[in-house]
Structure 1
Amino acid sequence: FFFISLKISSGTNLASDWADTSQCPPSVGGATFLIVAYSAVIAIGLLGNAGLVFIIARQQELRNVTNILIANLSCSDILMCIVCLPVTVIYTLMDRWVLGEALCKVTPFVQCMSVTVSVFSLVLIALERHQLILHPTGWSPAAGHSYLAVGLTWLVACFISLPFLSFNILTNDPFQNISLPANPFRDHLICMELWPSDKHRLAYTTSLLIFQYCLPLLLVLLCYLRIFLRLRRRRDMLERSRRTRGAQRINVMLLAIVIAFALCWLPLNVFNTLFDWHHQALPDCQHDTVFSACHLTAMASTCINPIVYGFLNSNFQRELKLTLQRCQCGNRATESYESFPLSTVGSEGMTKATSLNRMGSMLRPQDCKHNCWASFLC
């Protein structure tokens, strides 16, 4: 899950690789597409996730365990949009590093940390749903536990990503051996990984693939499979009806986030694995094109949260609508929430499924600027 392409690999044949790929100049159309596509992902990811975090933070009723973990997932996506995506576009289009040594080390570190936080958040959400539905009368996590889990998640993710701070370097060495009469690339810098040996690099990247992608998602899918089987067994119980259907819909929404995340990151994982273990299998001319397509697909995962929530969570839709109405300084906005909070719905008809019917409050025109989602909406 790291920032990787030919120009930043740790391979020893980078100069010869460059000589081959120099015969395949980038197209204007391809560069334009990359700029437009990455810009769209950044815009949707930033605005959507920022809105989601804002709404969860703004409403006390929405600060339950699942929503806190969802907000944590959105925060990691925001970090990815701010740091990693713009850097990737600039580096891919310029074909050399112009952003300084600090960003050379920080960018892959942040990307690895962000992905780790996202995966761990999905695992924690699945475990919480599993506990609530399979053991509704047992121990259930509280909001305080979720804040502790969020802190530990970022701490562990930071520790896992530390090698990128140590082994990413800024250098022009690969261009020194290019046999050209006048080498115009002698002063070009690239950001590359320099590991003590290929064995160390392969051990680390393979461990990331297993513990940052395969095993966590396998655990998540196992949790949701058990949840599905438990809910299917209870279809004929009296407590079916609205709350059970609500629990099923929420589980479908959360599972959709997991599946979309897994599918988005699958191409880049395949690319990275192939690059690490059988670099020659990648075509020379299409290398950057394939990498850009895989990386763009992975970065699209930053848009999953707000899109899935927007389509499937009516509570979020209503709260967003109310926020926008307040930004327009309306006199009154009436809101009707569903009768179950997101993280307390189980298959047993649930404990204290409190009604969250709330009436919108009156806003004075001078208060509008303090209640807007963003200042440009006022």
Structure 2
Amino acid sequence: MAPRRVSPQMLLALTQDLRSATRNSGFWNSAPSLPNSLWLDPTESVTQVAIMGNTGSHQGDLLANQTSTTKSTPLSFESCQLAPLVLFLLVVAYALVVLVGLLGNLSLIIIITRKQKETQNVTNALIANLSLSDILMCVVCIPFTMVYTLMDHWIFGDAMCKVTAYAQSVSVTVSIFSLVLIAIERHQLIVNPRGWKPNMSQACCGLLLAWIFSLLMSVPFFLFSQLTDEPFRNISLPGDPFRHRAACVEEWPSRQGRLVFTTSLLGVQYCVPWGFISVCYLKILLCLRKRHGKVERVREQESRRVNSMLISIVVTFGACWLPLNIFNIIFDWNHEILLHCHHDLVFILCHLAAMTSTCINPLFYGFLNKNFQKDLMDLLHLCRCFAPRDHYDSIAISTLPTEESKVSVKFIPSQESI
């Protein structure tokens, strides 16, 4: 989730494509800037430079035709800017995601910390790690990416360019791996209750490996992210509004290396985890359905709620992260497809969809759990916000009795967990 999918990065990519094509065709020798014919007139926009620069294998005469064609249908600079109402709605949406994500995950961590003092629980440790990574996403991914994308240039300096790109990738990867570990633990608890189940030390080792792998896998973002003024170097507008602006982009030694890394990232951060989570929860769903005929009628509604929850977890994970992954892979493999005024808006919507996972995870793994609701009320009572309540018992949504014996099957942790 490095902040790279914005106009400056796209314009830089097109500038590099143009230079490669024109050097091969002898259009210029070693000039560090674009030809004068590609400088913007006051009625032209940054996007037009990208459009005019996208020559691919065209020769110099085709470049002139492309420039002429583009100027014949000019776009005003303002036509590519987001409307104030759209900007306001996007900022409000991001603010809500940050607020809900922080409050939900912080409350989850506080409750788990209080419960862990009483008894250590594997599921709670995994959920706490998920909440921690989601908080990191709310703090690092959303603010920097939102400001960078809406402003179209980087204002936080060279060091933060590297650090934020690295931290964003780490937080996203750890969050996704935490979901995988939770799926494994629940699969063993429900599908194979008499088999191997991770203990606390094994869970901690799994979390440690997830963090180490995420830290190592994200190193390329730190190495190759840097500031450059190249996307703005050849833009000439009245008043020079682009003077002294810089973009935080990835400067890879080779395009092939970047494509290999991006494609691998798609598999590691999305395809493999989603497939693994889908298989685990599908097996859990089938296991619970086999017991459905043995469940007492009074528990049928509870069983349906479990099934709906399982399906929702898989579907929301895929729906949240699919748009952003598709955008990223298209950008790296064929960025010309994204050449239109409002590609930044498309990116923002894709990024916003992914970030909503920070709000959904606490909902699935905490707020819908009756034990969590009870513990949350306990926290509120500590503040004297509500009158004391009578003690009541609650059951986890996956505690299902059978005809042979009553077996506690924990989908969302019950009793000792949360």
Q: State the TM-score, normalizing by the size of structure 2.
A: 0.76
Partner of 1:203 in structure 2?
A: 260
How has the CA–CA distance of structure 1 residues 277 and 288 changed in structure 2, closer, same or farther, with 3 Å as cutoff? Answer: same
> Shift of the alpha carbon at 1:89?
2.2
1:140-289 matches, cutoff 5 A? 140-179=197-236, 183-237=240-294, 249=305, 252-253=308-309, 255-289=311-345
Aligned pair count reads: 355
* Alpha-carbon distance, 1:242 to partner: 7.8
- Measured in 1, the distance between the counterparts of 2:270 and 2:168 equals 14
CA distance in 2, matches of 1:292, 1:148: 36
* Aligned equivalents of 2:309, 2:375: Cα separation in 1: 18
Q: Deviations over 1:282-333 (max 9, x none)?
A: 2421111111111111111110122334652111111111210111176744
Cα distance change on mapping 1:254 and 1:227 into 2, 3 Å: closer
- 1:252–1:140 distance in 2 versus 1, CA, 3 Å: farther
The 5-angstrom pairing of residues 9-158 of structure 1 reads 9=10, 11-13=13-15, 18-20=46-48, 22=77, 23-60=79-116, 63-158=120-215
1:227-278: per-residue Cα shift (whole Å, max 9, x none)? 22222223344x7678898677556535533431221111111111221222
Q: AA paired with 1:168?
A: S
Q: Displacement of 1:352 after TM fit?
A: 10
Unaligned runs of 5+ in 1: 358-378
Deviations 1:162-213 (A, max 9, x none): 1100000012122223355774423111111100111111110111111210
Alpha-carbon distance in structure 2 between the residues aligned to 1:183 and 1:332:
65
Q: CA 1:351–1:226 in 2, change beyond 3 Å: closer, same or farther?
A: closer
Tell me by how many angstroms 1:106 deviates: 1.6
- When structure 1 is superposed on structure 2, of 21-30 and 32-41 the one drifting more is 21-30
User: CA RMSD for the aligned pairs?
Assistant: 3.1
How far did residue 62 of structure 1 move? Answer: 7.3
**1:5 maps onto 2:6 in alignment:** yes
In the alignment, is the contact (CA less than 8 A) between 1:69 and 1:146 conserved in 2? yes
Paired residue for 1:308, among 349, 357, 364? 364
TM normalised by structure 1 equals 0.83
Cα pair distance change 1:65/1:89, threshold 3 Å: same
Q: CA deviation at 1:338?
A: 2.3
Shift of residue 42, structure 1, vs aligned partner? 0.6
Q: Is the 8 A contact 2:191 2:287 kept in 1?
A: yes
Structure 1 residue 26: Cα displacement: 2.8
Distance in 1 between residues matched to 2:392 and 2:236, nearest whole Å: 71
| Native 8 Å contact 1:122 1:258 kept in 2 | no
Larger mean Cα displacement after TM superposition, 313-322 or 239-248: 239-248
Q: Where do 1:328-343 residues align within 5 Å?
A: 328=384, 332-339=388-395
Task: Between 136-145 and 318-327, report the one with greater CA deviation.
Answer: 136-145
Larger Rg: 2
Taking the aligned partners of 2:121 and 2:345, their CA distance within structure 1 comes to 42
Is 1:350 aligned to 2:350, yes or no?
no
Q: Distance in 1 between matches of 2:271 and 2:285?
A: 21
Residues 330-363 of structure 1 show CA distances to partners (whole Å, capped at 9, x for unaligned) of 6744443424598x98988437999949xxxxxx
Structure 2's unaligned 5+ residue stretches are 17-33, 39-44, 51-76
Asked if the contact 1:209/1:269 (under 8 Å) is kept, the reply is yes
> 2:292, 2:303 within 8 Å by CA — same for their partners in 1?
no
